[in-house]
Every structure is written in C-alpha cells, then in structure tokens.
Amino acid sequence: MLSRLSTLLGGQLLVTVALFAVYSGILSVLLPRQVAALDPTGKVAALAAVTSISFAVTALAQPLFGALSDRTRTRWGRRVPWMLGCAVVGGGIVALLPAASTVAWVAVLWAAGQFVLNGTDIALSAYLVDRFPAQRRGAVAGALGVAVVVGGGLGVVVAGALGTPWGHWVLAGALVGVVLVFAVVVRDPPAPKPIAVAVAAPARLTPDLLWVLLSKLLFTLGYASVYGYLLYIVVDHVGLPEEQAVGVVGMATVVGGVGLVIAVLSGGLLSDRMGRRKPFVAGAGAAVAIGDAVLLTAPGPVGLLVAAFLLGAGLGLSISAGTALASLVIPGSERNAGAGLGTLNLVGNVGQAVAPLITAAVVAATGGYSWVFGVSAGLALASGGAVILVRAVR
C-alpha cells in the first residue's frame, strides 16, 4: 500500500511540474512575446484582454471537470481518462498557438487550451482525497506545492530558451508524455457507487465548507492585493527608480519562493503530526498581515525582502494546511473530491481576479499604498477568523 502511494505521489509530482511549466511558460514568456509581435503598440491592453478572456472562460472549468470525473466509471478509473484526454486536447491546442495570426485568435486558442488543461489539473488534485489518508494530506499538499514552484520556474527557463514555436511544442509534448506514463503506471482503485444525479454538479455547500471557501477568498484577496503590485510598491511607496526596482522585485520573488517552500513543507508535515489544520491556516493570514505591517513601517529594500518572505510563507501555509483542511469538509468527499476541490480553486481564482480591482480602488481613493497594506492585513486576518468557525476539523 505504501509503495503504491509513493508511486502515485511521484507521478503526481511529475505531472504537476509539467502542467505548471506549461502554464508559466505560456503566461510569463510565450504569450506576451506573441502578443507584442502581433500588436506592438497596443500590447499592454491586448495582453490584458487575452488573459481576462481566458479567466472568464475557464472560471468554472475546475468545478465542472471535477464533478464530471467524480461521476465517471470506466475500466481505467474515473480520474485517468480526464487527465489524459484533457492533456492531449489541451496540449494540442497549445501546440497550435504559434499559428495564431491575430490577437483575437490568440485569445480564442489560449482560452480553449487553458479551459481544457484545467481538466487535467483538477482530476490530478482529486487523488489527494481519493487515495491519501487524512493524516497525510498536509504533507502531500505541501509536496505538490513545491512541484508547482519548480514547474513554474522550469517553464520560464524552457520557454525563454526555446521561444516560439519550439517552446510551445516542447512544453505541450512533455505534458502529454508525462500524463501518458502516469496513466500506464498508476491504477485507479474501484470507484464508489455513483450518486444518482443526471448531470455534474458542484459540491454541496455545508456551513463548514462555506467557511473554508470564505477563508480562501479572503486570504487570496489579502495576499494578491499586495503581491501582485510589488513593482509599483517599490517605485511609488519605497521610492526606488524603476531600473533598480526591477532587480529588487526579482530578489523579493526569490525570497518569497524560499518562504513558500519552507512553509509549505513544514506546515504540511506539522499539521499532519499535530492533527490540527486551523491554527496553520489562521497563521497563513497572520503572516501576510505581519508582512503588510513591515511594508508600512519599514519601506525599504530590506523591509521589502522581509515582507516578501512572510507573504510567501503565508501562501505556503495556505497551500498545505489549507488544502488539507478543505479536503476534510467536502461533503461525501469519497464521491465529490473533484467537485469540492474544483470549487475551492474557483474561489481562489476569483480572489486573484478581484484583488487588483481592490488595490486600484484604494490607491485611487487615498493616493498611495499605505491603506492598501491595511486593507490587505484586514482581509488576511479575517481569513483566519473565518476558518476558526469551522467545526468539523481542529
């Protein structure tokens, strides 16, 4: 049993690295370059339109694919067919992206590709509940969080080195190949008897699940409202020239990644050993709030690096302990893991989309970033308050 779980986790890690290499390589390097080549003068607005359209189209992809995989019954299991099918179709669409001759076609193809790839993503994530005991889920979620970071960095390196179209083809081909190996090596266990419903549906929203979703939304709003604006904060709040600010933000990104890796691993392992999730999730919000306080009271390069570490650590705790906690409050989790985790991810995506609007509104109203830090800290601390109200999990 332990050997099979180790094989499964190894496969999950490899697929996660390959999948997030595609996401990061496309979004960070290949998509901006392609849009700039097609519309050099309007590239900023064009890229914003492409990414906004892809978010709008894919917002419900994970709950949808998650619910469909929950109710799938085949000789290959319920997750593998969706993982492999979506990887092949989504990878094929990514491979076609270099042929897009207008920004409109880029938007259509990337939205379609991202939508389908979310099926691979959520079917893979559902194994956390399907196969791993509750007392190990924090460590597993932490390991997968590290794989996300590794995949994101690898994707940027590969895309930057190969460019268009080879970057698209290599990243898409690697994903399909890794998922194919996963499908051959990993065998799904017999699925529970399906629920008598005709169509896929989101997980039932119990009070505990609602508190967890609210906590996720508040944390994401608090975190993303600051982290997404680091460059502008360094220039407009700290007061560094833009040329120097770019290097400082790069250092902050690395430091934040270190904080994330440390927290995602230690938080997952400790929450497993202690059998407690809520203190770690509340701690994630507290770490972000302390980071905000540092930015407010020590506006300089050193303060920025300290704050970046704290923000990264908060995100790491949210990924490991937060995901493990969420997996324990999904109603009928043995049947609804995909839909439940997909709904959690949907809430996180909504938070990432809304956070910049909050930041922009606060800056417009106050003329600076000081109040942004206060709002961010309040939202992050409120996320901890919301999770404390969960009753079924310690």
Q: How does pLDDT run across 158-175, given as a tens digit for each residue?
A: 988 898 899 999 999 999
* Beta carbons of 168 and 97 less than 8 angstroms apart: yes
**pLDDT tens for residues 249-268?**
778 888 888 999 999 999 88
**pLDDT tens for residues 77-101?**
888 999 999 999 999 999 999 999 9
Q: What is the pLDDT of residue 201?
A: 45
Q: How many domains does the chain have?
A: 2
Query: What letter would DSSP give residue 180?
Result: H
Does 365 share its domain with 229? Answer: yes
Greatest mean pLDDT among 36-45, 156-165, 187-196, 346-355 lies in 156-165
Say which CATH number the domain at 119 has. Answer: 1.20.1250.20
Does 224 share its domain with 169? Answer: no
Residues 6+ apart with CB under 8 A from 56: 111
Give the whole-angstrom CA distance, residue 317 versus residue 284.
Answer: 5
Reported confidence tier of residue 386, pLDDT bands at 50, 70, 90: very high
- 307 within a domain of the structure (yes/no): yes
- 380 within a domain of the structure (yes/no): yes
Does 176 share its domain with 219? Answer: no
Reported confidence tier of residue 189, pLDDT bands at 50, 70, 90: low
What's the angle, vertex CA 305, arms to CA 300 and CA 311, rounded to 5?
120
Does 256 share its domain with 354? Answer: yes
Does 242 share its domain with 113? Answer: no
Q: Where are the alpha helices (DSSP H) in the chain?
A: 2-24, 31-38, 43-58, 61-70, 80-96, 103-125, 127-131, 137-162, 166-185, 207-227, 230-232, 242-274, 278-297, 301-317, 323-329, 333-366, 370-388
**Span 314-323, average pLDDT:** 91
Does 57 share its domain with 137? Answer: yes
Give the whole-angstrom CA distance, residue 191 versus residue 194.
Answer: 8
Query: What letter would DSSP give residue 75?
Result: T
